[in-house]
Amino acid sequence: MEIHSSAIISKSANIGEGAFIGPFAIIEADVVLGKNCHIAAHAILRKGSILGDAVEVDSFSVVGATPQLLDLDRSIESGVKIGDGTILREGCTVNRSSIAGGYTVVGDHCYLMAQTNVGHDCKLGSSVVMANNVMIGGFVTIGDKCFFGGGAGIHQNCRIGTYAMVAGNATIAMDVPPYTMVTERNEAHGLNLVGLKRGAFDQREIADLKRCYRAVYLGGGNLKNKAAQAAREHEFGITNVGARFLSFFESGKRGFVESVPSADN
């Protein structure tokens, strides 16, 4: 364990074995660090933050920051949970939950690049990658292995399905189905085929996803109804990934991103 003499650490913080804590880092009361965490100079871990093993928090990042709500009851006690092996680069902010006893959650092995903001009450899956300056509003749910290009902004209460790819500078105010690519303002551009191939999905699964995507998105109409209709037919959703794509449309508060004419894959 290596702790710089200028670091400020609460006596009630629980610091795991092998931790590195750099100059002027601040670790508040009841913070929990797993084994081999690396907390860089000037990083701040607020009260109630729980970090897994081998988490890296770079300089000027703030974990457990107060939710950015005008009517927030500041007496509420809540926190943030960061999964094993996750990296927060310079200047990231992860706001604690706005619900008493609740947690904002970032999963295992995520990589949040510089200046990323994760709003209160978000739930991020594992292996999520966010490039610089990504902005995630409150109560956003993000599936495993999603990728966000730099400067993307996600409206509060949106759902981003697993293996989705969000382009840089995209503005997303609607739900993004799993395995899809989205750009600009709520524009779906077909399936994330590169991500699917890297994820070792087989041809049967990809072919099923293509059929499901076309059944829902091509030809206009109500997406939720079209997904429900496709789910009742034997030729769609014959694999787990296809069924997951169709079932995504069963819920949500924001509506769904719309396909552009060229997205025919």
DSSP string, 196-252: HHHTT--HHHHHHHHHHHHHHHTT-S-HHHHHHHHHTSTTS--SHHHHHHHHGGG--
pLDDT tier at 157, thresholds 50, 70, 90: very high
The partner residues of 196 in beta bridges, in order of sequence, read none
**Mind listing the pLDDT tens digit for each residue in 11-65?**
999 999 999 999 999 999 999 999 999 999 999 999 999 999 999 999 999 999 9
The partner residues of 191 in beta bridges, in order of sequence, read 180
pLDDT confidence of residue 262:
55
- Please check whether residue 65 is in contact with residue 43, taking contact to mean a CB–CB distance below 8 angstroms: no
Section 181-200 average pLDDT: 95
Q: Look at domain 2-139 and name its CATH class.
A: mainly beta
Please give the model's pTM, rounded to 2 decimal places: 0.95
Measured distance between the N- and C-terminal CA atoms of the chain, rounded to whole angstroms = 52
Fold of 197-259: Udp N-acetylglucosamine O-acyltransferase; Domain 2 (1.20.1180)
Residue with tokens 């006596």: 11
119 Rama sector, left if φ>0, alpha if ψ -120 to 50, beta otherwise: beta
pLDDT confidence of residue 260:
81
Enter the tokens of residue 63. Answer: 């974990």
- CB-CB neighbours of 58 under 10 Å: 21
pLDDT confidence of residue 220:
86
- Please check whether residue 119 is in contact with residue 140, taking contact to mean a CB–CB distance below 8 angstroms: yes
**Mind listing the pLDDT tens digit for each residue in 82-127?**
999 999 999 999 999 999 999 999 999 999 999 999 999 999 999 9
Section 129-151 average pLDDT: 98
Domain range summary for the chain, segments of one domain joined by +: 2-139, 197-259
Task: Identify which has the larger pLDDT, 3 or 219.
Answer: 3
Domains 2-139 and 197-259 share a fold: no
pLDDT confidence of residue 265:
58
d(CA 102, CA 81): 10
- Please check whether residue 170 is in contact with residue 184, taking contact to mean a CB–CB distance below 8 angstroms: yes
Query: What are the helix (H) ranges across 16-166?
Result: none
